Each structure stands twice: as structure tokens, then as C-alpha cells.
Homo-oligomer: A and B are copies of this chain.
């Protein structure tokens, strides 16, 4: 460990008081320019760094942002959160914040952990992911006026504009995917989604349906809903592409897991090559999230701008924490980002 350098050491070397050192660093406009220079030089020479714990005691600010790290459920889509996490750590550092991790089970468990953290480490803010309908966490945090941002829009109506959020426009992503397929000449474009009720899934389905309708195609009967898993996707795709099928020649999927399953189904001998009509034109498949798996198997996929989303979260938090107090009737800010389509061999 290096010997500790305190503000008093700097003050002594610069020939000023502790408070002047503090001012030179935190409120430069109240010190004479020449004094400021002298202080900065002393800071440099001693390698002084402000002690967060002491500062936190006085100011009540920890300059910590806490976020939950989830176990990667099926393993495929887990990587989305991790890329977001990396972006968050990076952006936070640029704004002078650090990222603190925690784990928890379920909404209730997360609330308990948050309460613990607030008492002990006093993070300045939280970033919540995986928002859903009737999210206990957001209401709990709002009640206690704890600053937070969600990555994922508030899906309940009541919540409306209750807190700042950043999200990716899933509908725009599936719409772009659908347009891409239309441009390639496909007409009967199917959709593999999740059961209705999940905000994210419904949003993505809607982008596909809307785009088909705009092209004069009835999306009716062209979609299937299933839980998220490769096997589930394969089964649903079989159903959609199979004999009694709908003549579907391309599939937009709500996730890379389902898309991968669809890809398996589409390439199973004797089915897919026929479904699309010709052997040199297999069923096209597009996934969502542009996970490593998509890259590895050549799956065209909708890519979320995760670094930008993370930067957006930090920006909103910084405004909340370091900016001027917002007007009482000012609605919380939010940001909706457009994803992009990464085209590979599968479509």
C-alpha cells in the first residue's frame, strides 16, 4: 500500500489551508488562478487523490451506481446484459462514477438487497434491468425517492412517465428485419415470438405485423408464440413451415434462441428446402440481439446499441444527480434508441 496522502499534506506543500485545496479542486472559480495552479501542482507532485469515504461522509454522495448482475438464464441471451454492463462501467467512469454489483432473486429479493446497500454503501443511484409489468422495484424506489434509471421502458400504463428510462425500439428492429426480407422478394414472412403479455415480446411482434400490413400482406396465421429456447423455436418453426403450413419463406424471430431453433428446423432435410419453394433458396431466418451465437452460426440478427444505451443511462443519472433540481412537474427524461440489422448468411 502506498502511504496515504491527505488534503492536509497538499495544503502544507502549497502553503494554503485545507479548505482552499478543496475549493481549488471542487469550486475552482472561488480561488485565485495563481493559487489554484500552486495547489494543482502540489496535488500532482504528491499524487493526491480524494478519499471517497471521507467525502461521502460529509456530502452524502458515494459516486457509486449499483446494478444487479443476473445469472445468464439460458446462456444465449445472457451476453446482452454483459455488454451493457461493460458500456455502463465505461460511461460511468467518464462521469466520475463507479459501478457496484449485486445479485438477488426476484423482485422482492432485489428490493431487500437494495435496502441493504442503501444503508451500507449508499449508492447514489440504481440501474434496473429487465423491467416488466407491475414491477415492484420501480414503485419501491420511487416511494423512497431513490434516484434510478431503468434499461427497459416502464411497461405498465400507470407508471407512464414516473421515472427516467432508456430502451431500444424493438418494433423498429423487427420492422427493419421485415423490410429487409420484403426487399429480398419474400412475401409470406412469418414471426416466431413469445406468448403475449411480455412488453418486450409484444413490441417486437408489433413491428413485424405493422410492416407486413403496410406492404399489403395480412400477418394473420403467420406467427407462432412459444417460450424462449432453442428446442421451442425448432418445434414452433416446424409447425409453421410444415405440411399443413402457411407457405412461409422467411422468419423473423423475437430472439436468437428461437432463431437458432428455426434455423435447425429450416435446414432439417426434406422440409425447409421445400417450404421456401426451391433448393437454392432456403428459408430465411432473422434473430434478435446479435448474440455471439448469431455471429458464430451466421445468423442475421437485430443488434441493440448497448454501449449507447448504457451511455444514455449514465447521462440521465448524471443529470439527475449532478444537474439542477428539475421542476416538480417536469416529466422524467427518456431515450428510445434504434437498433440496427446485422446481415449475415441466414437472410
Contacts and interface: CB of A to CB of B under 8 A. Distances in A.
Interface in A178-210: none
Nearest to A104: B93
Contact of A89 (B69, B295, B297): B69
Interface residues of A, number: 56
A327 interface: no
Contact of A53 (B2, B56, B90): B56
A52 B146 CA distance: 18
Interface string A1-39: 110010000000000000000000000000000000000
Nearest to A116: B49
A240 interface: no
A43 to B, nearest CB: 11
A50 interface: yes
A235 interface: no
Interface string A64-75: 100001111011
A130 to B, nearest CB: 15
B52 A2 contact: no
Given A1-B144, A120-B51, A79 B90 contact: no
A101 interface: yes
Interface stretch (A80-88, A163-171, A242-250, A276-284): A80-88
Interface of A: 1-2, 5, 47-54, 56-57, 62, 64, 69-72, 74-76, 78-79, 82-83, 85-86, 89-90, 93, 98-103, 116-122, 144-146, 230, 257, 260, 291-293, 295-297
Contact of A82 (B82, B90, B102): B82
Contacts of A120: 49-52
A295 B76 CA distance: 9
B118 A2 contact: yes
22 contacts: A2-B144, A48-B119, A49-B120, A50-B119, A53-B53, A53-B57, A53-B121, A71-B86, A72-B86, A74-B292, A75-B292, A76-B295, A78-B79, A79-B82, A79-B292, A82-B85, A89-B103, A90-B103, A98-B100, A98-B101, A260-B296, A293-B296
Interface centre among A5, A47, A57, A293 (most CB of B within 10 A): A293
